[in-house]
Amino acid sequence: MIRLKSDIEELGRLTRRAGFAYAPWQVDDVLREQIDGPLLADVLTWIAGPGGRKALVIGASWPRAVTAMARAGFFVTVVDEDLERIRRVQAAALAEGLTDRVTPTLADYKDRFFEPSAFNVTCVWDAFDAYDDPGPLIRKLTREVKVGGQLFFRGGLVPAQPATGLLARLSSIEPQARTLARRLVVRLRPTLTEALRRPGLFGSPPESVEGAVAALMLVKEVRKEHALLLDAADVVALVPALVRTLPAIRRADARLLVREPGLARTIAVFGSKEKQLGKLAPGMRS
């Protein structure tokens, strides 16, 4: 395998964010399904095709996303540097009889090189948030996807507007939603105070993510989602009985983002590797 010196040097300069950790909801299977289940369904529709294709999943925080791809006919390679997350994927594949289709790999993706054009599909679920700049990693994975292959990337955003906590984000929503949040906060004030003191989802400015993908791939769709919902999910991770509040908060969250799109906390990009690289597809949503 031939690797350019400039590529090796660029990846070698990457550093991980100090203190990075997945949020509690990201490693809770029930909450992950509540937050990202609809998006996963859209990803599976987007990558649907003949069986026997190869997929690369970067980040093992959500085992069901991996097994769903394997059930859809993919041979899935999963790369993650955390042994516990890799073991969770192994256990999920074993429980569903998919060990012949799922290959867990314990490694930091920036240090694990695959052959050029080795995969038909690549999926990244928040794993690049651990780095200050996702650009070099996006360029690396683009080289490892076949021409005509597909890329799904989801990562965190630095909101365009400051976010000072759950109640502040609810300030422009109807009274019913504000009342729901206040009740939640009053009931959980000691726990919530500690939860919200933790740094939120790490992320990048939206233009850096979109630009890195658009320079290399045909961008089909961009979604910017989730404002207050992620903070609420972190609270529910601490007090599971409050899971019933999430549907109402999700609806309020969607209405808030219509009015204040700059509060979005995540970005999802759907792209394909075409010969005409860097061209935005007609009708792209953002």
The tens digit of pLDDT for each residue in 209-223 reads 667 777 778 889 999
How far is it, in rounded angstroms, from Cα 29 to Cα 62? 7
Asked if 105 and 85 count as a contact pair (C-beta separation under 8 A), the reply is no
Domain borders along the chain are 5-161+200-226+263-272
Listed residue (77, 74, 62, 151) closest to 114, CA to CA: 77
pTM of the model: 0.80
Angle between helices 175-197 and 246-259 (to 10 degrees): 100
What is the homologous superfamily of the domain 5-161+200-226+263-272 according to CATH?
Answer: Vaccinia Virus protein VP39 (3.40.50.150)
Residue type, 172: S
Give per-residue pLDDT as tens, 52-89: 999 999 999 999 999 999 999 999 999 999 999 999 99
Instruction: Kindly state the percentage of the chain with pLDDT values over 70.
Output: 74
Asked if 98 and 65 count as a contact pair (C-beta separation under 8 A), the reply is no
How far is it, in rounded angstroms, from Cα 139 to Cα 108? 16
Neighbours of 206 (CB within 10 A): 19
Confidence of residue 44 (pLDDT cuts 50, 70, 90): very high
Q: Which residues, in sequence order, are bridge partners of residue 131? A: 16
Eight-state DSSP code of residue 17: P
Statement: residue 114 has pLDDT above 60: yes
